[in-house]
């Protein structure tokens, strides 16, 4: 199975819930699927291979969305993913799989990010939403690589440039200790609807 074969079942799952789907919207391959519903942004990683790195890939993208999920081709593989060693923040990454062509949830998504993280990543998410709005209205042509993610002039703790494709919450938070590194646990769990509403109201309960 190819990753592209996961697209139709994902759209069939999210479209009735009010989401508009964009697959690889900027042609760079960085975002597999972006789901939009009003101001809510969901990101879905489609995985049929190299699944052992799926949480790493999901977490470095989480600043661009309100929730993140991974979609795998079968339940047995989703169960293996849940058994991977991962940082606490990975508990908020939804783990979904295909069952007879339909998307099922083995673990529901949780809301991202916490207040201070939102402040750091806010411009990134706004840029993504504005770019997709231009794509939907025809101001940006489909099928042309225009790259949502651009290399910034931001530098890390030792003066090295930070590629936004590898940004982590700890590097963009206002007062982290760059030597310590650990990420904070994400809070809450539920459906994509729950994740979006929890972020907006700022009152998601802890898991």
pLDDT tens-digit map of 14-38: 999 999 999 988 888 889 999 999 8
H-state helical runs in 15-164? 54-61, 75-82, 115-137
Q: Is residue 203 part of a domain?
A: no
Confidence (pLDDT) at 109: 93
pLDDT higher than threshold 60 for residue 140: yes
Range of the domain at 98: 1-198
149 inside domain: yes
Residue 17 placed within a domain: yes
Note whether residue 206 is domain-resident. no
Nearest to residue 83, comparing CAs of 52, 47, 48, 45?
52
Higher pLDDT among residues 104 and 133, named by residue: 104
Answer whether 19's CB lies under 8 Å from 37's CB: yes
Is the confidence at residue 62, as pLDDT, over 70?
Answer: yes
The tens digit of pLDDT for each residue in 87-113 reads 888 888 999 999 999 999 999 998 765
- Residue 34 inside a domain? The answer is yes
How many domains are contained in the chain?
Answer: 1
Please state the rounded mean pLDDT for residues 136-148: 74
């Amino acid at each position: 199975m190819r990753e592209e074969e996961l697209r139709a079942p994902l759209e069939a799952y999210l479209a009735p819930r009010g989401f508009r789907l964009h697959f690889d919207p900027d042609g760079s391959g960085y975002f597999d699927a972006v789901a939009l519903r009003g101001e809510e942004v969901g990101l879905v990683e489609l995985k049929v291979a190299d699944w052992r790195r799926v949480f790493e890939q999901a977490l470095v993208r989480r600043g661009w969305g309100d929730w993140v999920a991974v979609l795998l081709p079968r339940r047995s593989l989703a169960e293996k993913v849940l058994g991977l060693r991962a940082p606490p923040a990975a508990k908020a990454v939804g783990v979904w799989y295909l069952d007879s062509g339909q998307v099922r949830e083995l673990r529901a998504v949780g809301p991202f990010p916490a207040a201070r993280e939102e402040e750091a990543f806010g411009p990134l998410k706004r840029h993504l939403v504005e770019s997709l709005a231009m794509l939907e209205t025809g101001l940006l042509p489909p099928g042309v690589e225009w790259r949502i993610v651009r290399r910034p002039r931001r530098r890390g703790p030792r003066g090295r440039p930070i590629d936004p494709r590898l940004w982590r919450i700890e590097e963009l938070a206002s007062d982290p200790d760059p030597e310590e590194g650990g990420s904070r646990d994400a809070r809450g769990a539920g459906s994509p609807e729950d994740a979006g509403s929890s972020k907006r109201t700022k009152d998601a309960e802890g898991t």
